[in-house]
Structure 1
Amino acid sequence: MPAERLLPSTEAEDLLKLTREIARDELAPIAAEHEEAGRFPREQFRLLGRSGLLGLPYPERWGGAALPYEVYLQVLEEIATAWMSVGVGLSVHTMSCYALAGHGTDEQRDRFLPDMLGGDLLGAYALSESHAGSDAAALSTRATRDGDDYVVNGTKAWITHGGEADFYTTMVRTADTGAKGISCLLVPADTPGLSAAPPERKMGLTGSTTAQMLFEGARVPADRLLGAEGEGLKIALTSLNSGRLGIAACAVGLAQAALDEAVAYAKGRRQFGRAIIDFQGMEFLLADMAAAVESARATYLEAARRRDRGLPFVRQASIAKLVATDAAMKVTTDAVQVLGGAGFTRDFPVERYMREAKVPQIFEGTNQIQRVVIARELKTA
């Protein structure tokens, strides 16, 4: 189980207790079945919405809880420990709301944000394209102004919740001026001309639908432009800074689940007359796994505290994402090793954890890109 948390308030303690109950009673018992079937957990997201967990870091005026990011991320970790697809989905939804919450007008927030934070609407974040992943400024999906609408054409790739979401925070090109020609649109899922391609066939997170989104003459009302034209890349990158902390917290939750499973198995498995956890080789392996989990948790929490205090946190967010996702890959792989042959079968969840641990090293900016960001921040410090 995770180490005892030092939470900033009784309210936060109560929230984390509620989250653990939901994770234990509503998520963990059905996670393996949903992942095996590739079934999207839409009802579970509605449950999180009814429980007040979809808008934790956002203002109360629009249905949020106005809680520190430090608390929100610990909630996210608890959910990911029970079911990684739901944890990642909550992180993506929170990031998808950021553009409106941080850059929309009060009129736009009043109109759209309550349903987005209350659980009635589930979000997706549409930045990447097949030729514009790490190089986000190279995106080519184009929005052309036509009267009171933008007409959007292009294809977005690797979209979490693609075809399942109710709205898409979408980065589009409105001018041929490179990074300065990108804008942000809040696109409803029922927009004529918007459709989803068949879901990607993935090695993990199979309960979380990922698909291309196709814009074919899609008409989006101009009043759904967030910020000014040309501010889209800035909005996208600031969203990612916080989103990377969400992925770090999810990765720690996944690693914690793998560690818990490995420890329980090692206590119960006997060889040569004693539990295998009593052999020094196993003790050292489990100790290293525990150290990796605790260190990664401390890293994301420190970054979150800087964010909550209004301090620069770009470098710390990239470090947290890098450290936590690399740790999750190592810990889940070692968990399979602890279980031996049993770990290689689907009778135990650690093989699924290992498959799920790979993609956090890739999305929200690959870990190679995180190193670029960290190095750039060091040069300009």
Structure 2
Amino acid sequence: MNDNNQTIRNARDQQLVDYANRIAKKIAVTASQYDESGAFPHEHFRLLKKEGYLKLTIPKEYGGDELSLYEILLVQERLAKASGSTALAIGWHLMTFFSLSHFRPWKEEIFAEVCKTAVEKGYLLNVYSTERTAGNIVRGGKPSTTVKKNGSGYVLNGRKSFATLAPIVKQFTVLAYIEEEDKIAEFLVEKDDSVEIIDTWDVLGMRGTGSMDIAFHNTRLPETALLAYSEKGVFNRFTGKSSAYTLQLPAIYLGIATAARDFILKYATQRFSPSLNNYIVEAPHVQQKIGEIEILITVSRGLLYGLAEKWDIHQNIQDKLSHEVAVTKYTVCNNAIKIVELAMSIAGGHSLSKSLPLERYFRDVQCGAYNPPLNDMVLQNIANAAIQHFQDSINKEPQPS
């Protein structure tokens, strides 16, 4: 519904949109059920595997489709219209492979094997870095999850939180602290009996992502499990290339917002008001809100897809767009919240009923503020950059003799 927008540039884009819409239509049938129960949507992932969704961002050389940044945003926005939870959960898998493909920090033979298991066996992949005691390691914390050398390998102990896809992953990576080396590194872990999945995921929104806790009890790792060191101040796959892989996040929340827009347009054209003696879509205040919604969607899409196209085309500046990536995430996610709120204000008190999808959209869209980078971090970094730029410009001005 109302899918006519200028982000679809060519026939390939249209094919990808049609592909995503077809999958989304099937997932939408049970999306609300999984939201209600909080259960992990295994059937959704069986469908995604069957449809080849798991290999969208894997390099062609290893059997994947190697979608561009722009193209994966098109697909993920549509999937999120059906289920924000499913789009976000599979999104971390897609983002992981996208960042690995463009940065290539691991030994190539290991990366090739991980790609192969995803393409041929349907294995999902995610990285687990967040801890309840230390926070997000990428933000500067030191992991309490540790590894110790043991013969030719390592022993892993600790606990990670917000481990999206935990119920279904067979292999994943973790950031852990190597005590003997006083360094942080990324390790590849195969799930076995020493890996405990702890069902802590009972939350307000994005209830079907399976973002549980994972505990490691003397988990043995081979020497080859050490993938790459994470050194402070040195670009890595999480921070390199301006972290553009994270633009999937605003695309997902924009998808949820457009689902709310589509619903409220249908609702407003079918809801008759005796006091108006007409359908509520004819009320001036309703049209005002619809206009605001459309402007917010247009601005968000322009910002998001404009940046993605810039990143895809101009490889020489891919490392110089980190502020634009952060601003885009901040703007689109906050706009998405406003869009859903406007849609709810049109429906009034009915929007709070579980018989309508608006309350689910409202809960899901709030989660964008808690995906990295967080609002406070964006504002601080942008402010510091502006201040520094101003001070530098003053210092460059010729001084009176």
Residue of structure 2 in register with 1:120 after alignment: 122
1:210 and 2:214 aligned: no
**TM-score, normalising length: structure 1:** 0.91
Contact 1:255 1:331 in 2 (8 A): yes
1:143 and 2:151 aligned: no
Partners of 2:230 and 2:108 lie apart in 1 by: 18
Secondary structure of 2:132's counterpart equals coil
Contact 2:58 2:115 in 1 (8 A): no
Secondary structure of 1:185's counterpart equals strand
Partners of 1:359 and 1:255 lie apart in 2 by: 12
Q: 1:11 Cα deviation (Å)?
A: 3.0
Per the alignment, do residues 188 and 242 of structure 1 end up closer, same or farther by CA in structure 2, a change over 3 Å counting? farther
Residue of structure 1 in register with 2:74 after alignment: 74
Give 1:154's match in structure 2, choosing from 154, 158, 169: 158
Residue of structure 1 in register with 2:198 after alignment: 197
Residue of structure 2 in register with 1:364 after alignment: 372
1:287 and 2:295 aligned: no
1:250-306 CA-to-partner distances (Å, cap 9, x unmatched) read 010000001111111111112220111111111111111121122112222122123
Residue of structure 1 in register with 2:308 after alignment: 304
Residue of structure 1 in register with 2:395 after alignment: none
Residue of structure 2 in register with 1:227 after alignment: 228
Contact 2:149 2:180 in 1 (8 A): no
Secondary structure of 1:103's counterpart equals coil
Residue of structure 2 in register with 1:246 after alignment: 248
- Structure 1 residue runs of 5 or longer lacking an equivalent are none
Aligned length: 377
Secondary structure of 2:377's counterpart equals helix
Partners of 2:226 and 2:100 lie apart in 1 by: 9
Contact 2:172 2:188 in 1 (8 A): yes
Partners of 2:168 and 2:200 lie apart in 1 by: 10
| Larger Rg, first or second structure (1 or 2) | 2
Partners of 2:118 and 2:311 lie apart in 1 by: 23
Secondary structure of 2:290's counterpart equals helix
Contact 1:52 1:118 in 2 (8 A): no
Contact 1:49 1:117 in 2 (8 A): no
1:87 and 2:91 aligned: no
Partners of 2:52 and 2:300 lie apart in 1 by: 27
Letter matched to residue 115 of structure 2: L
Q: 1:345 Cα deviation (Å)?
A: 0.4
1:263 and 2:265 aligned: yes
1:1-22 CA-to-partner distances (Å, cap 9, x unmatched) read 2333444553332122111111
Letter matched to residue 71 of structure 1: E
Residue of structure 1 in register with 2:168 after alignment: 164
- Structure 2 residue runs of 5 or longer lacking an equivalent are 390-401
Letter matched to residue 357 of structure 2: P
Partners of 2:242 and 2:95 lie apart in 1 by: 7
Give 1:325's match in structure 2, choosing from 329, 333, 342: 333
Secondary structure of 2:3's counterpart equals coil
